[in-house]
């Protein structure tokens, strides 16, 4: 009964999404102004969404510009749908075929930053709510919660949790169908240690403020040489290296080019930092300061720190002696293997090298155990500083939990398949509340373009997702 409503309103739904794509709503606290803690673009996209929803007949509320919500229904209990309106940065120069913040429809696809992560799925949910509100009776309230800092520090949803009612059950349309029952733990780690090159003075390392959850597509090292250095461009398709060297007097800038990608799907990207590190190790004599700190970078490399899957030292019993290679020594369980995204590298004026990595940790491995392993690098480098930040505990709901079974059944009926719920490395809003899972909107047969260039949402898929959401909302709120 909801399908008809959604079919009739699908053009309006797509034009609503298009109108929201126009806001370059990258969450940025450094641009905070009164009533807009994440910058004016985030404030504007929230205001716009709430005013559209209000016109559609919903109750709306703006929580001090951190977060907003859209609600209908009656009753004591609250069903939640948790999405976000902020987006990751996008620049036409990154390889976009059309301007990222100008919605373009081509071959049945809606192109633009946020089309699939997460503005499209949010509005598909809004129209699903409208379909239920217009055509059925519910005994609970249904609330669409809209964050503005999801891609950064979740200050939006944390603000919500502090000042608003928590849903008793919820889903988040911010990942994939059929449903996600396990999300790996997330933790970032920074390693700080003195470092210098023997043949040149390091002026800077720069990753252009790459976000921790993105594979860095660019990294440059600027050095001042005492004498002429023999450095040349290096391109190798096997190791995916693409290095260019620019010389200006005795200043050399070594630029490493990779491919951006989401930290939860590292294999799709090419890490520009790792390639630059390899280049340094092959082309420079790395200096030593005292015996213990001899060849810092080389040793980190040998420990496996730059490996993207289950870095080798994490499986060592004794950090200083390599493990025998065994399949079962990997940090891995049913939710997948531990992955590490070297996301940022900096060099401060006191000569310290800071390397930051973003880890996706299988659900059965405690975050603190993994942190301990990183801390144990101090057995080799006593002066190293190891710090953890951005910790998010894993989410794990049993596959046969009623919420999972319910939502997966609704999906399977609609698409006539027999898909099983999945585990992922991404961290979605589902883990913000108990009794919550991620549910769509990317279908298993589709490419997931979130955080990538030329992001798009297939229009018919969004319509199908909206129909599935309507059934799910009704099922949870009836």
Which span sits near Zn ion by CB under 5 A: 21-29, 63-71, 114-122, 232-240? 114-122
70-99 mask for Zn ion (x: CB under 5 A)? ------------------------------
Q: Is the distance from CB of 141 to CB of 133 less than 8 angstroms?
A: no
Compute the least distance from the CB of residue 162 to Zn ion, in Å.
Answer: 22
Report how far residue 219's alpha carbon sits from residue 342's, in angstroms, rounded to the nearest whole number.
Answer: 11
Question: How much is the CA Rg of the chain, to the nearest whole Å?
Answer: 24
Compute the least distance from the CB of residue 424 to Zn ion, in Å.
Answer: 12
Report how far residue 228's alpha carbon sits from residue 327's, in angstroms, rounded to the nearest whole number.
Answer: 47
Instruction: State yes or no: is 328 an active-site residue.
Output: no
Among 86, 118, 293, 458, binds Zn ion (CB under 5 A): 118
Compute the least distance from the CB of residue 207 to Zn ion, in Å.
Answer: 22
Neighbours of 77 (CB within 10 A): 14
Which residues contact residue 204 at a Cβ distance below 8 angstroms, ignoring those fewer than 6 apart? 220, 221, 222, 347
At 207, list the tokens. Answer: 């990753």
Site for Zn ion in 268-287 (CB under 5 A): none
Site for Zn ion in 449-468 (CB under 5 A): none
Report how far residue 271's alpha carbon sits from residue 257's, in angstroms, rounded to the nearest whole number.
Answer: 8
Which span sits near Zn ion by CB under 5 A: 45-53, 166-174, 342-350, 363-371? 166-174
Residues present in the chain in total:
478
- Which position among 41, 86, 118, 206 bears the catalytic label? 86
Nearest to 28 by CA among 159, 156, 161: 156
Which span sits near Zn ion by CB under 5 A: 172-180, 252-260, 276-284, 436-444? 172-180
Report how far residue 404's alpha carbon sits from residue 328's, in angstroms, rounded to the nearest whole number.
Answer: 29
Strand partners, 347: 353
Among 41, 86, 117, 220, binds Zn ion (CB under 5 A): 117
Nearest to 69 by CA among 144, 134, 16, 13: 144
DSSP 472: H
Nearer to Zn ion, 117 or 183 (CB): 117
Nearer to Zn ion, 86 or 206 (CB): 86
Among 174, 183, 220, 242, binds Zn ion (CB under 5 A): 174
Compute the least distance from the CB of residue 172 to Zn ion, in Å.
Answer: 9
Q: Is the distance from CB of 464 to CB of 4 less than 8 angstroms?
A: no
Q: Within the chain, what is the greatest distance between any pair of CA atoms?
A: 79
Compute the least distance from the CB of residue 171 to Zn ion, in Å.
Answer: 14
Nearer to Zn ion, 132 or 179 (CB): 179
Nearer to Zn ion, 174 or 220 (CB): 174
Compute the least distance from the CB of residue 426 to Zn ion, in Å.
Answer: 8
Compute the least distance from the CB of residue 370 to Zn ion, in Å.
Answer: 24
Instruction: State yes or no: is 93 an active-site residue.
Output: no
Chain mean position to CA 432: 15
Which span sits near Zn ion by CB under 5 A: 140-148, 173-181, 271-279, 389-397? 173-181
Q: Is the distance from CB of 322 to CB of 316 less than 8 angstroms?
A: yes
Nearer to Zn ion, 174 or 455 (CB): 174
Nearest to 225 by CA among 203, 251, 195: 251
Q: What are phi and psi of 406, to 5 degrees?
A: -55, -55
Report how far residue 252's alpha carbon sits from residue 256's, in angstroms, rounded to the nearest whole number.
Answer: 13
Which span sits near Zn ion by CB under 5 A: 117-125, 180-188, 246-254, 302-310? 117-125
CA dihedral sign of residues 8, 11, 12, 17: positive
Which span sits near Zn ion by CB under 5 A: 140-148, 171-179, 309-317, 340-348? 171-179
Nearer to Zn ion, 66 or 374 (CB): 66
**Per CB under 5 A, 448 contacts Zn ion:** no
Nearer to Zn ion, 146 or 243 (CB): 146
Compute the least distance from the CB of residue 226 to Zn ion, in Å.
Answer: 48
Nearer to Zn ion, 241 or 436 (CB): 436
Neighbours of 351 (CB within 10 A): 13
- Which position among 41, 117, 118, 150 bears the catalytic label? 150
**Residue numbers annotated as active site:** 86, 150
Q: Which residues form the interface with Zn ion (CB under 5 A)?
A: 117-118, 174
């Amino acid at each position: 009964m909801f399908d008809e409503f959604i079919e009739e309103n699908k053009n309006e739904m797509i034009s609503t999404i298009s109108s929201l794509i126009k806001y370059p709503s990258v969450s940025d606290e450094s641009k905070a102004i009164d009533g807009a803690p994440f910058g004016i673009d985030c404030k504007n996209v929230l205001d716009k969404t709430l005013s559209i929803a209000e016109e559609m007949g919903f109750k709306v509320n703006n929580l001090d510009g951190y977060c907003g919500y859209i609600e209908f229904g009656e009753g004591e209990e609250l069903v939640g749908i948790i999405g976000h309106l902020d987006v990751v940065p996008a620049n036409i120069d990154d390889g976009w075929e059309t301007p990222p913040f100008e919605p373009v429809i081509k071959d049945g696809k809606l192109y633009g930053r946020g089309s699939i992560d997460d503005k499209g799925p949010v509005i598909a949910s809004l129209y699903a709510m409208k379909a239920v509100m217009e055509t059925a009776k519910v005994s609970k309230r249904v609330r669409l919660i809209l964050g503005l800092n999801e891609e950064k520090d979740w200050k939006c949803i944390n603000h919500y949790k502090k000042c608003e009612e928590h849903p008793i059950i919820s889903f988040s349309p911010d990942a994939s169908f059929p449903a996600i029952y396990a999300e790996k733990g997330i933790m970032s780690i920074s390693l700080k240690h003195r470092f210098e090159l023997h043949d040149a003075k390091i002026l800077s390392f720069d990753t252009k403020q790459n976000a921790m959850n993105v594979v860095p597509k660019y990294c440059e090292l600027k050095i001042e040489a005492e004498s002429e250095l023999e450095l040349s461009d290096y391109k190798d398709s096997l190791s995916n290296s693409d290095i260019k060297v620019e010389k200006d007097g005795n200043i050399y800038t070594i630029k490493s080019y990779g491919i951006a990608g989401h930290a939860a799907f590292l294999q799709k990207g090419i890490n520009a930092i790792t390639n630059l590190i390899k280049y340094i190790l092959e082309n420079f004599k790395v200096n030593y300061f005292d015996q213990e700190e001899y060849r810092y970078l080389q040793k980190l490399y040998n420990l496996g720190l730059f490996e993207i899957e289950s870095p080798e030292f994490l499986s060592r019993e004794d950090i200083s002696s390599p493990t025998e290679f065994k399949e079962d020594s990997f940090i891995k369980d049913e939710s997948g293997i531990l992955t590490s995204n070297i996301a940022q590298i900096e060099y401060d004026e006191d000569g310290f090298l800071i390397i930051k990595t973003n880890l996706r940790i299988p659900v059965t491995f405690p975050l603190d155990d993994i942190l301990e392993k990183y801390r144990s690098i101090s057995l080799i480098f006593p002066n190293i500083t190891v710090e953890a930040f951005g910790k998010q505990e894993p989410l794990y709901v049993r596959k046969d939990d009623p919420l999972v079974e319910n939502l997966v059944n609704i999906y399977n009926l609609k698409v006539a398949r027999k898909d099983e719920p999945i585990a992922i490395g991404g961290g979605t809003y589902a883990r913000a509340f108990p009794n919550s899972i991620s549910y769509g909107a990317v279908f298993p047969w589709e490419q997931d373009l979130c955080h990538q260039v030329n992001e798009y949402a297939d229009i018919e898929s969004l319509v199908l997702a909206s129909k599935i959401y309507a059934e799910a909302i009704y099922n949870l709120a009836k």
